[in-house]
Structure 1
Amino acid sequence: MTLIVELWHVPDCPLIDRVRATLRECLRHTGIDVPVRERQGPYPSPTLIINGIDVATGTTPSDSMCCRLDLPTHDQIHAALTDSSRP
């Protein structure tokens, strides 16, 4: 299965660097090499989406702009990457 990893955020989101760093760490740890598509615009920010699912909530992503404090954890990102990369 092809992994599609997206990071949605508003311009100047103060939490985006934290999510980027955790995502990079998880990608390195799992050995998964996949491009991360960043989308900047009026989104819930930051939102990490893997194969169409919001990693923090386990549901389809919302389309309403807001500042999110429920950042995906290392464990959530790691699990989403490994689960989504299985055939």
Structure 2
Amino acid sequence: MKLQIELVHDPGCPNVDGAREVLGEVCKELGVPAVWTEWNSEAQDCPPRARNLGSPSVLVNGEDVAPGPHPWKAREPDSGPRCRVYRDGDAIIPVPPKDRIVSAINKAMQPEVG
């Protein structure tokens, strides 16, 4: 069981602090270390797979916790900030929903079969 959490954000993203807070809460609730890698989407060391995600995005073991079509997919890569919002029931929120992060971490922590 290997757990790798990543937070991808654009520089100056107004929602990255909220995403950090939710990640910290989830890690505490699940009893896992509150350790993740942060990627500035415009930095040279940001992996190509993370550069064109909206901000903020949370990945668990390389998978987006809220996959699906998103508005920025239609934009040209490297065309500037790509603010991301999420649906949580009937609400639109600026950070990944807590339950999606919990589900992704729980899935990643399942013992490998085989």
TM over 0.5: yes
Q: State the identity as a percent.
A: 35
Residue in 2 that maps onto 1:49 = 59
Contact 1:5 1:34 in 2 (8 A): no
Residue in 1 that maps onto 2:23 = 23
Unaligned runs of 5+ in 2: 43-50, 87-94
Residue in 2 that maps onto 1:82 = 106
Residue in 1 that maps onto 2:83 = 67
TM-score by length of 2: 0.66
RMSD: 2.0
Select the structure of larger CA radius of gyration: 2
Aligned length: 84
Change (3 A) 1:74 1:31: same
Dislocated runs of 4+, deviation >4 Å:
none
Residue in 2 that maps onto 1:37 = 37
Unaligned runs of 5+ in 1: none
TM-score by length of 1: 0.84
* Cα distance between partner residues in 1 of 2:96 and 2:102: 10
